[in-house]
Amino acid sequence: MSTPPIDGGIVVVTGASSGIGAEFARQLAPRARVLVLVARRRERLDALAAELRVGRPALQVEVRPCDLSNAAAAGALADALLADHCAVDVLINNAGLGDVGLFHQRDEAKLLAMMAVNMTAPLVLTRRLLPAMVARRRGGVLNVSSGFGMFFMPGFGTYAATKHFLTAWTEALRLEVAHHGVVVSQLNPGPVATEFEDNAANPTGERIPALLMMSAQRCAKRGIRGFDRGGALIVPGLALRTFYGLCALAPRWLNRLALRLVARRFEV
């Protein structure tokens, strides 16, 4: 079983300006040779880069602002990385956003942007960066999916669909390149305390209880540990693994019946 070449490697983290992605960057900084930080908010990336350089002056940190809702921009980012480095060792497709509420009431432009960031950008980046990993028999891709990659729920339909794409695609990709020495894993967190919930903009104003939230630090730590082990589907936390396991055992008709009640909660 291969391990992802994080140590001494060139590691790209998308969505590094906040939440889980910023924590990935902090926790990988002591191990990588080059850390590439990607997101739209340049000032956040610059501040994080400065923090990481103070912590480890030998680390090379690159700030590469990019709007990943634009497939052409994502492609140009990958091409620039290849032009500058020939290959990257590890790609963490973490950038993503959610959208909560009844589908027929949601903003179409935001839904399309979510689909582009959550699905198209990982696809474009991976399509361009993976061939060099395969050729060198050295590489790792960690896709940040979600529990919603395995379940459906009213109010989260389109978000869950984007994560179902990531989950199915990652499973298949993993099998395609495992014998070429490239590790492909996915992280499937439950609720994590980040800016995600604010950006998902639940119109009911309901919030996930803090008790159910995992910290971004812990989520990233579990994700890295699972990735180091070459895990296929990394679910952070025993309670969450148990919950997912029980849900998976329930027949689909029972899920539908229970979730019918949930749909009403999104009426505004």
Ligand X SMILES: NC(=O)c1ccc[n+]([C@@H]2O[C@H](COP(=O)([O-])OP(=O)(O)OC[C@H]3O[C@@H](n4cnc5c(N)ncnc54)[C@H](OP(=O)(O)O)[C@@H]3O)[C@@H](O)[C@H]2O)c1
In what helix (H) or strand (E) does residue 150 lie, and over which residues does it extend? none
Residue 29 makes contact with ligand X by CB under 6 A = no
Among 4, 28, 119, 146, binds ligand X (CB under 6 A): 146
Sequence-separated (6 or more) residues with CB below 8 Å from residue 11: 28, 32, 34, 35, 36, 88, 89, 90, 92
**Alpha carbon separation from 224 to 22, 158, 234 (Å, rounded):** 13, 27, 9
CB of 249 to ligand X, least distance (A): 22
Only one residue has tokens 């993503």, namely: 96
Question: Binding string to ligand X for residues 69 to 88, with x set by CB under 6 A, is what?
Answer: x-------------------
Residue 2 makes contact with ligand X by CB under 6 A = no
- Quick one: tokens of 227? 């990735």
Q: Which of residues 227-266 bind ligand X (CB under 6 A)?
A: none
Of 181, 188, 174, residue with least CA distance to 241:
188
Among 96, 101, 140, 236, binds ligand X (CB under 6 A): 96
Among 117, 124, 142, 224, binds ligand X (CB under 6 A): 117
Sequence-separated (6 or more) residues with CB below 8 Å from residue 71: 116, 120, 121, 124
Residue 9 makes contact with ligand X by CB under 6 A = no
Of 156, 137, 140, residue with least CA distance to 148:
156
With contacts defined by CB under 6 A, name the span among 3-11, 94-102, 242-250, 259-267 that binds ligand X. 94-102
CB 142 within 8 A of CB 4: yes
CB 188 within 8 A of CB 140: no
Going 66 to 186 to 178 to 25, the CA torsion angle's sign is: positive
- Quick one: tokens of 214? 């995992």
With contacts defined by CB under 6 A, name the span among 4-12, 80-88, 193-201, 260-268 that binds ligand X. 193-201
Among 2, 27, 199, 255, binds ligand X (CB under 6 A): 199
Nearer to ligand X by C-beta: 113 or 134?
113
Residue 39 makes contact with ligand X by CB under 6 A = yes
Of 122, 138, 144, residue with least CA distance to 87:
138
Please confirm, yes or no, whether 244 is among the known catalytic residues. Answer: no
Residue 218 makes contact with ligand X by CB under 6 A = no
Among 67, 151, 153, 247, binds ligand X (CB under 6 A): 67
CB of 253 to ligand X, least distance (A): 26
CB of 122 to ligand X, least distance (A): 9
Q: Residues 156, 159, 165, 196: which is the catalytic one?
A: 159
Q: Which residues are catalytic?
A: 159
Which chain residues interact with ligand X by CB under 6 A?
15-21, 39-41, 44, 66-69, 94-98, 117, 144, 146, 189, 191-192, 194-196, 199
